[in-house]
């Protein structure tokens, strides 16, 4: 894809998805309503649908760099666990700063008491190894279940778009732009109060695009190293599952507002994303290789 083709594709995708989100809000009322749930799931397949339309209508070779293989399975496990790790860091900062308490966990020297939540190894007092196993198994299970929907986004974002965007805009610019577009794609729903009910405008225009730019670099590292877009599918599923559960189930201390946690989450994501970018660029320089997923054909789409 050329740079102009990418820009036109992204503009068309955003306009179409915003129009459907507007229709959803008109019909269902609020994005948190039961009536909106089928719309939200359907919208997750828009990036893949747009990619298919582009392939059929404009460029018959547009999918030649896309591979459906799972890649190195170690990166699938990492993809499920990274969102859990970042969520626990955000929770740890929140507890140490005195900003709030977890609705799920009570921490002690000997282990953790789990008081609520859908944890596969159950609730109650657990040693640290048991607690770690509980987090791991639950994250993997929820990531796997959520993959049914997140593949609809990630085939489009990481499978189809990431490689040509890196080729046209560079590793830093291409991945950052993809993350910002990924965030902007949610704009009407967030402005309606989803994800950031207390600060929808700040959330939709600033917080969410920046957060997903950081996540985009993590996913770029996973997919490029695994030579597959499937780790992004798994990571997205883990974010929508255990990560959001841990971060949103925090009861804030009186006088503390939600942006304290939101900004902490952004800082954590950007830090991990920056590390992933450094590893990618350093590895590319060391081996003299392009930092894009392996493909059957090396030539880029026109």
pLDDT tens-digit profile of 105-141?
999 999 999 999 999 999 999 999 999 999 999 999 9
Write out the two tokens for 51: 């990619």
What CA–CA distances, in Å, run from 166 to 45, 110, 194, 212, 257? 22, 47, 30, 17, 37
> Is pLDDT at 162 greater than 90 in this prediction?
yes
**pLDDT at res. 224:** 95
The predicted-structure confidence for 224-266, as pLDDT tens digits, reads as follows 999 999 999 999 999 999 999 999 999 999 999 999 999 999 9
DSSP 8-state assignment for residue 287: H
The predicted-structure confidence for 205-227, as pLDDT tens digits, reads as follows 999 999 999 999 999 999 999 99
Read off the pLDDT of each residue in 84-93 and give the average, rounded to a whole number: 97
Query: Which pLDDT band holds residue 301 (cuts at 50, 70, 90)?
Result: very low
Query: Which pLDDT band holds residue 30 (cuts at 50, 70, 90)?
Result: very high
How many Å apart are CA 179 and CA 272, to the nearest integer? Answer: 14
**pLDDT at res. 284:** 63
Average pLDDT, the chain: 91
Write out the two tokens for 117: 């939540």
**pLDDT at res. 286:** 60
How many Å apart are CA 167 and CA 290, to the nearest integer? Answer: 9
């Amino acid at each position: 894809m050329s740079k102009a083709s990418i820009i036109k594709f992204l503009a068309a995708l955003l306009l179409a998805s915003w129009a459907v989100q507007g229709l959803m809000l008109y019909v269902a009322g609020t994005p948190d309503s039961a009536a909106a749930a089928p719309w939200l799931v359907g919208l997750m397949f828009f990036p893949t649908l747009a990619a298919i339309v582009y392939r059929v209508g404009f460029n018959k070779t547009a999918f030649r760099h896309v591979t459906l293989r799972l890649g190195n399975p170690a990166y699938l496990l990492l993809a499920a666990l990274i969102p859990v790790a970042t969520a626990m860091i955000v929770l740890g900062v929140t507890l140490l700063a005195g900003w709030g308490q977890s609705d799920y966990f009570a921490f002690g020297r000997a282990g953790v008491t789990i008081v609520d939540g859908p944890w596969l190894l159950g609730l109650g007092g657990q040693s640290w190894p048991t607690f770690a196993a509980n987090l791991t198994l639950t994250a993997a299970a929820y990531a796997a279940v959520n993959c049914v929907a997140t593949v609809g986004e990630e085939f489009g974002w990481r499978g189809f778009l990431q490689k040509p965007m890196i080729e046209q805009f560079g590793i830093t610019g291409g991945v950052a732009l993809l993350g910002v577009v990924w965030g902007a794609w949610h704009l009407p729903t967030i402005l309606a109060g989803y994800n950031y009910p207390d600060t929808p405008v700040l959330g939709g225009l600033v917080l969410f695009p920046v957060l997903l730019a950081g996540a985009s670099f993590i996913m770029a590292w996973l997919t490029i190293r695994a030579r597959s877009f499937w780790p992004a599918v798994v990571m997205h599923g883990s974010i929508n599952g255990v990560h959001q559960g841990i971060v949103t189930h925090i009861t804030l201390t009186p006088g503390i507002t939600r942006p304290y946690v939101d900004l902490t989450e952004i800082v954590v994501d950007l830090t991990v994303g920056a590390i992933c970018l450094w590893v990618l660029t350093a590895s590319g320089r060391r081996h003299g290789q392009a930092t894009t997923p392996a493909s059957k054909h090396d030539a880029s789409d026109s």
